Structure 1
Amino acid sequence: MNLIDSHAHIYSEEYKGDWAGAVTRAQEAGVSRIYMPNIDHTTIDAMLEVEGKYPQLCIPMMGLHPSYVKKDFERELYLVEEWLGKRNFAAVGECGIDLYWDKTFLPQQQEALKVQVALAKKHRLPIVLHTREAFEETYEIIAAAQDGSLKGIFHCFSGTVEEAEKVKELGFLMGIGGVATFKNGGMDKLLPHLQLEDLVLETDCPYLAPAPHRGKRNEPLYLPLIAKRVAELMEKPVEEVAEKTTANSLQLFNP
């Protein structure tokens, strides 16, 4: 199988000293490309270092993660804008709204998302969205900005069938990861109602390792476990899941 991990923080501290091992294991598992979302200014150097070592495999994005939007978020966004202007990236991201831990900076998160949506339009790039406990808040901003030019992924999607329909109507894809393998993840109620044309696969490593590795460090090596579970829940051959989600990723990031 040829698989693409559409969302992996393989440059993070959890892999320090093990980049080569993680990449080799991913390739042996059939993962041909890994898209790396940025977090903030502190992660750029490591992300670009991994790209430099594996330029055909590890592809960077540029953005500001909503959990790292604080009072000085404008300074972070200037840096994002500067980087987008001086070299190529696969997407703007990850960005969005996260209300899981704290709602203090919701106005700043909303403003930061609007700025990054504008940057995605300016550079004609897809946008990768983080929507933890904030689907409606994120959706409202994207829907208001959608003029036919926006495209991207609602990363780590585990919403309702109704929310999935809203994502599809926007022309966006849904990123499906390790939650699909969780016993009480709820994806057994969602995935049978979705179409492969609307999905991409992701690990979000080092987080959200799929069963039976839940609670351990995640890595792209485990992407076939996610593909297998998606295939089971959608009653499709796993080869078809791999082929279609890979094609979806390539079409989005490399039109």
Structure 2
Amino acid sequence: MTAVIGLKRKVFAELLGTALLLATVIGSGIMAERLAGGNVAIALLANTLATVGGLYVLIEVFGPLSGAHFNPAVSAVMVLRGELHARELLPYIGAQLVGALLGAWLAHAMFDLPIIELSSKVRTGTGQWLAEAVATAGLLLVILRAPAPRASIMVAAYIGTAYWFTASTSFANPAAAFGRMFTNTFAGIAPSGVPGFVIAELIGAAIGLALHMAFEPGKQPVQHATRQR
């Protein structure tokens, strides 16, 4: 019974944390676009700053509860490393996907937009997919190699940086791609582009894990206090 209660608590933390992360990403994108007067660079900068700050806080808050993955690719890697039990993977992923959808709806509700809509913003092509693979590989490498006390700030800083050096603005998260499909705003992605993003992100996660293992061959997995996005 205790194990069941513990899993429910972790799954709820993943759902709530992912919802708040997507509300931050989408909501700040809406606000930024409204205030930037058509200047896309300013809008992206504002969206980046809000995401970095929000992500740092969410990892700090939910890390001790669930690991603060908020990301199916991260959860899958943690299962492979033995840091998350295999039976917890599907509940984690389900919570992350539901949380991402709820986060998109919450952002729309706060800005008086239609709750249910699909994005028409096309994001596809080789450059975008390569960018997502690079962004996700880097994210996993940071997560796996960051010293535990500095993991939150390092992950948030990396995502903020990747907003600008990747062509895709660094989704680096299948749940984020799924949630952003339900907003036709600054942060949205058309449903047709989501499969390519998710495949690239999963490939990137595998590359990030492989790079980490290459640096420390044969070393036992190290437990980290916080995990991300």
TM-score by length of 2: 0.29
Higher RCO structure, 1 or 2 (CA under 8 Å, sep 6+): 2
